[in-house]
């Protein structure tokens, strides 16, 4: 059948609609976008240390003290793996120097609270180089260790030597050995995915290149701030942490964390004991964040 101009007549609209419906029925319609996996995030407290608020919050009251929570954050991954944010500490010299109360090794706290064995941890994300967050990295024999490249290379020399006093010599030597063993994964900068549904971001200059972690959960994205915000007081009063290389950078990081979480309550500060009151407990010293 042809038109008066000698060309084929276009199919009527009703015919086109029928063909489209048939294609949809056959599965030819575009597939919906894949959703991020939903992980489970916990806070596990393995010790407490008495600390002045003035050393935690810029301009804070130095006469007011609290027992800050020494915490690690295990993430039960949707694929069955265990990712741990920060590794705590265990060397005797730190325990003798700081005299933490209620101390147990991070590995023991994870085992008692959640049944997580050291060998079951597949990944450890170190938010920064400080002893109370990085010292325990070698407690997890099968884990890859994730740390910002700039953080590692600024602090640890070619032979495990100390390049910046922010890192303890034993921690520097230990991380160097782990890298020699091929277990350290250096992260190149901001907004990097290290696993489906887990991203890391450069932080607010608590150390040279600290980072924080965003985890997709059933409650939405959870931000594990670590020392980019010590306490809820930093976040809720918009006050920088007292120990930062750049207060303006720290405040900018706090604003960014809130934006990435979509809700301030899902930004989890690094040492606030209130975390274990604001989120439901699943056992002694354990709270489920998501």
At 126, which CATH number? 3.60.15.10
Q: Mind listing the pLDDT tens digit for each residue in 85-144?
A: 999 999 999 999 999 999 999 999 999 999 999 999 999 999 999 999 999 999 999 999
Tens digit of pLDDT for each residue in 74-83? 999 999 999 9
Q: Is residue 275 part of a domain?
A: yes
CA 276/CA 290 separation, integer angstroms: 13
Residue 24 domain flag: no
pLDDT of 264 reads 85
Range of the domain at 64: 40-288
| Structural domains of the chain, count | 1
Residue matched to tokens 């032979």: 159
**pTM higher than 0.85:** yes
12 assigned to some structural domain: no
The answer to the question of residue 115 being in a domain is: yes
Question: d(Cα 22, Cα 16) in Å, to the nearest integer?
Answer: 10
Residue 234 lies in a domain: yes
pLDDT single digits (tens) 184-232: 999 999 999 999 999 999 999 999 999 999 999 999 999 999 999 999 9
Do the domain assignments include residue 22? no
Residue 6 belongs to some domain of the structure: no
Give per-residue pLDDT as tens, 1-35. Answer: 444 444 444 445 554 444 444 444 444 444 444 56
Residue 222, in any domain of the structure: yes
């Amino acid at each position: 059948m042809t038109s008066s101009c000698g060309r084929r007549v276009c199919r009527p609209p009703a015919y086109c609609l029928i063909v489209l419906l048939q294609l949809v029925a056959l599965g030819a319609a575009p597939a919906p976008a894949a959703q991020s996996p939903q992980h489970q995030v916990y806070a596990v407290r393995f010790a407490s240390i008495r600390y002045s608020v003035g050393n935690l919050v810029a301009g804070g009251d130095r006469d007011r003290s609290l027992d800050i929570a020494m915490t690690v954050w295990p993430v039960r991954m949707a694929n069955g793996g265990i990712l741990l944010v920060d590794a705590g500490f265990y060397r005797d010299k730190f325990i003798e120097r700081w005299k933490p109360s209620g101390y147990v090794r991070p590995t023991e706290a994870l085992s008692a609270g959640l049944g997580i064995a050291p060998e079951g941890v597949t990944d450890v994300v170190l938010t920064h180089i400080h002893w109370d967050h990085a010292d325990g990295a070698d407690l997890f024999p099968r884990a890859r260790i994730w740390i910002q490249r700039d953080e590692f290379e600024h602090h640890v020399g070619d032979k495990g030597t100390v390049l910046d006093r922010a890192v303890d010599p034993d921690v520097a030597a230990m991380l160097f050995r782990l890298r020699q063993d091929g277990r350290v994964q250096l992260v190149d900068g901001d907004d990097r995915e290290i696993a489906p549904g887990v991203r890391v971001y450069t932080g607010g200059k608590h150390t040279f290149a600290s980072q924080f972690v965003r985890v997709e959960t059933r409650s939405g994205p959870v931000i594990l701030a670590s020392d980019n915000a010590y306490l809820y007081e930093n976040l809720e009063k918009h006050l920088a942490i007292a120990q930062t290389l750049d207060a303006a950078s720290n405040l900018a990081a706090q604003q960014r964390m809130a934006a990435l979480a979509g809700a301030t309550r899902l930004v989890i500060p690094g040492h606030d004991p209130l975390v274990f009151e604001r989120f439901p407990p699943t056992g002694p010293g354990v709270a489920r964040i998501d």
